[in-house]
Amino acid sequence: MPTRALLKRLQINAALDADDVETIKALPMAVRDFPAHAPLAREGARSTQCCVLIEGFACRSKTTFTGKRQILSIHIAGEIVDLHGLHLQVMDHDVTTLSKVKAGFIGHDSLLAITRERPMVAEALWRYSLRDAAMFREWIVNIGRRPAINRLAHLLVEIATRIEEMGFAGGARFELPMTQLDIADALGLTPVHVNRVIQELRRDGLLELHKHTVLLPDLPRLKQLATFDDLYLHRSEALSDV
């Protein structure tokens, strides 16, 4: 069931009834496989469908005229990488796979139709896009006001938290198919400096990183270093919903 992860993702933040769930499951979705480093959407393009990650990792990024890339967010299975395209005509950034990816594409027409018929689905999606924005805000704080080590710590803890939230693996060990260059572009640093900061975390016993497997041996201390507060992830708000 390709919509399983998506449903899980939406239900973390919204109370959907059985009919809502059925309607989402029935959405026509084209599933495709992509290799790593493949574009899922490009800046300037007019999208006609939304892209849901079923398996694998992707990131959103912008490249300045001077050729520098800035990664805006990392995405895991269950997440919609371009939901904004539903109401914003043209893509203002790129979406690229980080690993091999299985992705589902849902036409804007069918998605718009269901949002107009089922207000709760519309609100779940709207809320999802608001959480997206909340993560961008924290990303701004991270890049603007935290030194490099703390910045990297925050990125790691955020990803660990989000992976755990979706019920994949434990929070302290996970796959992260990002190169040090990717991490640098995510943090607004250079790859050389990221390498040095990684070594510092290793020395402090806060990070083990072989291949693309991350292990966080002392999550509490890492969270402290990151001054991580998960408020901005707006977890489990469904219960208190109107």
Partner DNA sequence: CGTCGGGTTGAGGGTGATCAAAGTTTGTGG
Partner DNA sequence: CCACAAACTTTGATCACCCTCAACCCGACG
Tell which phi-psi region holds residue 41, choosing left (phi > 0), alpha (psi between -120 and 50) or beta.
Answer: beta
Q: From the list 26, 31, 112, 215, which residue makes contact with a second copy (rule: CB under 8 A)? A: 112
Binding of residue 199 to DNA (CB under 7 A): yes
Binding of residue 87 to a second copy (CB under 8 A): yes
Rounded distance, CA 174 to CA 61, Å? 22
Q: How far out from the chain centre does Cα 40 lie?
A: 14
Q: From the list 1, 18, 65, 210, which residue makes contact with a second copy (rule: CB under 8 A)? A: 65
Residue 235 binds which entry of DNA, a second copy, none, CB below 5-8 Å type-dependent:
none
Binding of residue 137 to a second copy (CB under 8 A): yes
Give the angle subtended at the CA of 176 by the CAs of 102 and 165, to the nearest 5°.
Answer: 80
Binding of residue 193 to a second copy (CB under 8 A): no
DSSP secondary structure string for all residues of 83-107: GGGGTSSB-SSEEEESS-EEEEEEE
Residue 198 binds which entry of a second copy, DNA, none, CB below 5-8 Å type-dependent:
DNA
Convert residues 168-187 into a mask of x (bound to DNA by CB under 7 A) and - (unbound).
Answer: -----------xxx------
Identify residues 122-151 at the interface with DNA (CB under 7 A): 147-149
Binding of residue 223 to a second copy (CB under 8 A): no
Rounded distance, CA 233 to CA 212, Å? 24
Q: How far out from the chain centre does Cα 211 lie?
A: 21
Query: Beta strands 69-75 and 58-63: pairing type?
Result: antiparallel
Binding site for a second copy (CB under 8 A): 43-44, 60, 62, 64-66, 68-70, 72, 84, 87-90, 92-93, 108, 112, 115-116, 119, 122-123, 126-127, 129-134, 136-141, 143-146, 187-188, 227, 229, 231-232, 234, 237, 240-242
